[in-house]
Structure 1
């Protein structure tokens, strides 16, 4: 069977499963590179002709091209998903990716935000106009709910309830996150100023809007977050949606006494091992706080 034909069938399978447009684009790009490599460097066009050695050679090429270990691991997950599907569909007798080694990703301790830094980034925006209020609400929601950038941008007004938010996450998987009283106070002001600013104009269904009433672009959201960091004087740290997500996770683990299973659901992780990575990013001070709050003797004194 021609690899090209099976890849095309697999992409229709992914589309039917409801994968996001971004995921489908990434998959197509990766499979195109793999297909070209196999054809040009290994003279392979048939699915059955691909071996473990060919895939290992593909990874070596990626390494020589300077691709970082994390990127190679992410790339190979897409390849592994394809061959797993081929095995399930009985196009192949086994999954040849099982014996392909990927580089180890070095564990890094993320230099995350402190509570005071997050508070500063929320407070640097005022309620003087629509954009200032919107930006304050975005930063507050990132910190208090741990949403991804795509989830903030795609958030619909109808899904922001009184005490909860229905989030459409990765792979179109829905989950519920909760609105704290502190966040609710900011959102109430945002909604009031938003209504006054746009009056009776036709608006996008998105909860957070640009100044003309359309959804916020990826670049615009990134600029809002960078502006918060600049105004608050944050230095030596990556000011991004992921760092806010990291802050939320670590705060839940150290201050909120939330177990890792509950946190995994709140973050929208499909695999708990992804959530457990946040445990590895906690610094010594955060681990100390967690240890003291979990101390059996300290808790005995409270009873």
Structure 2
């Protein structure tokens, strides 16, 4: 017999699906809430979301801080398929950012139940909001970027693919998941633009690339077509769509091989910072290129310049440097 929480969760997920939320968001909600439901059932004997109180949620937050990464899965199947104990960060502390994401998802769930009149009050309303410390985004130097790109063996299909994906993210600011889902018909070489269809917020947008990337993309497509008739630009060797996590792992491994900590989102961050610092770009345009919901979101994410970066940007705008006086 199914528990009440399972039915409530199914109803919530149908609601989210009807809103056409991204697959990533749906997966985040589902995973977060199933882990929460498992804790409530096993530790507190609660199987109905309407019985959850603020004190239970505080207990859960304390539990998250103590249990460590990947030590619990929402189902036994996940443990057998994903082998979390083989991960390098297995049992390491769960970050405040992750816990903040968990509590945010839980709050959305209870807001839905309140709207459906299954509960009178949201137990999350009295929970103090977790404000994780923002890590300053590292700006890779040109030499470090060269070191990374020279680490790939371009005679191997998968390394050539990852090399080009990294360069495309750095040149356009596209997300890793968006990059993995690209198809040849999304590219317009005349305008040097790419139509990104499968976006985080569900809204299509254009990103752009330069002359070097245009040449790189043409060469890759010719190379790829000799080995695969896949509908994707960056497929697996079997022609299927490349899993985002596998792509991320390939990038991390390439970085490690030359002593760098690199991941796709860092390259996207570097696109934004180089666009603002070297290219003298503006936040309004950058926000559209990155696919953010507002300029405020972009500013919040990229106003963490180091003193050195601020100094470099200043030199481009020094009054005496730019005025003939």
More divergent stretch after superposition (107-116 vs 157-166): 107-116
Alignment of 1:79 with 2:106, yes or no, is yes
C-alpha deviation, 1:22, in angstroms: 4.1
The 5 Å alignment of 1:137-286 reads 137-162=164-189, 163-167=192-196, 168-195=198-225, 197-198=226-227, 203-218=229-244, 220-222=246-248, 224-226=250-252, 228-229=254-255, 233=258, 235=259, 237-270=260-293, 272-286=295-309
Q: 2:310 aligns with which of 276, 280, 287?
A: 287
List structure 1 runs of 4+ shifted beyond 6 angstroms. Answer: none
Deviation (angstroms), 1:36: 3.2
How has the CA–CA distance of structure 1 residues 41 and 241 changed in structure 2, closer, same or farther, with 3 Å as cutoff? same
Conserved? CA contact 1:260–1:276, under 8 Å: yes
For 1:16-165, what aligned pairs fall within 5 Å after superposition?
A: 16-66=18-68, 67-122=94-149, 133-162=160-189, 163-165=192-194
Distance 2:62 2:154 in 1: 53
Sort the Cα spacing of 1:227 and 1:64 in 2 relative to 1 into closer, same or farther, 3 A.
closer
Q: 1:33 to 1:290 in 2, by over 3 A?
A: same
Q: 1:273 to 1:105 in 2, by over 3 A?
A: farther
TM norm structure 2: 0.78
Change (3 A) 1:129 1:257: same
Q: Structure 1 pair 126/34, CA: closer, same or farther in 2 (3 Å)?
A: closer
In structure 1, the gaps of 5 or more residues are: none
In terms of fraction of residues, the more helix-rich structure is 1
| TM-score where L is the length of structure 1 | 0.83
Q: Distance in 2 between matches of 1:110 and 1:33?
A: 30
Take 2:207 and 2:186, find their aligned partners in 1: how far apart are those partners? 11
Q: 1:28-57: per-residue Cα shift (whole Å, max 9, x none)?
A: 232123223334444444444333222222
Q: Comparing 90-99 with 56-65, which one deviates more in the overlay? A: 90-99
Q: Which runs of 5+ in 2 are unaligned?
A: 69-93
RMSD: 3.0
